[in-house]
Amino acid sequence: MVDPSKLMEIRLVGENISPDNITASELAEVLVNLEKAIVEIAQSKGDKEVEASISLVSIENKCAKLGLYPHSTYAAEAFYDFTLAVKDGNYADLPRSSIDPIRNLVKFSQKKGCEIELRNQPDSEKPDAKITPATEIVIPDLYVASNTVIYGIVERVGGATRPRVSIKVSGEKLIHCDVSKDMAKELGKRLYSWVGLLGKARWDIEDHSIVSFEILDITEYEDTSASEAMSGLAELCGRYYEDITDVEEYVSQIRGE
């Protein structure tokens, strides 16, 4: 049962805007992007499994007036935050994953030459906010840059006029980098092998992922088996431990036991 006190509302307002001249796909475009933005905002506040969807429960031939019902308080609060961001023109506190759906709503407004009015309470005299063809979405730079070393597998090297390499750094994540022809040749020799790369990274401060990476140099790291690595370590450091006969007692002394 729909609780009327919880209803929200959007209206598409403009010349010749009404349900009979908006196609089903255009209406779906608005609702899908609106719900996507609300879900992303709601889930950014905590539990990724929160119920944050909305339902279309009414449509009236009055400037394409759409009644929306939130399935939870999370969705209602997210709609309020979304409305406030549009009203103030300040999107800095919204999750970045919600920005593209909001931009899509602006594009719809521009395409149809209409305004999208947002109301936290249906039939309120004035809208709480409006998306118009002139709406601009500006967000601050959410990246930081630093020098770092990454390790990954060289998945691809190619490009005649614009050499690029693809490095798999974790799971299925690939980082694509522009490189010089000389660098491409060198990395081409290490195709499908692990490499260490020194460079400048741009990090997303929200999820700490690498957004872009400029390769400055290839480290001396070489992919090797665990046994070969241990043999190399023994060769390098073994002479410092040659006189130790009781390993357990030696470790206990180090620990002060």
Q: Phi and psi for 38 in degrees, rounded to 5?
A: -65, -45
The CATH fold of domain 143-223: OB fold (Dihydrolipoamide Acetyltransferase, E2P) (2.40.50)
* Tokens describing residue 152: 């990954």
Model confidence, pTM: 0.59
Q: Where are the domains of the chain?
A: 4-131, 143-223, 225-257
Q: Is 32 helix (H, G, I), strand (E, B) or coil?
A: helix
Contacts 24+ apart (CB under 8 A), 204-209: 204/96, 204/142, 204/143, 205/142, 205/143, 205/144, 206/95, 206/96, 206/142, 209/173
For residues 190 and 154, the answer to whether their CB atoms sit within 8 Å is yes
Contact 110, 136 (CB under 8 A): no
From first to last of its 257 residues, what are the pLDDT tens digits of the chain?
A: 678 888 999 999 888 787 777 888 988 999 999 999 999 998 887 656 667 788 888 888 766 788 999 988 889 999 999 999 999 999 988 888 899 999 999 999 999 999 999 999 988 889 999 999 999 998 777 778 889 999 999 999 988 788 999 999 877 788 989 999 999 999 999 999 999 999 999 887 777 788 889 999 999 877 666 676 667 666 766 676 677 777 787 777 777 76
CATH 3.30.70 for the 4-131 domain, yes or no: yes
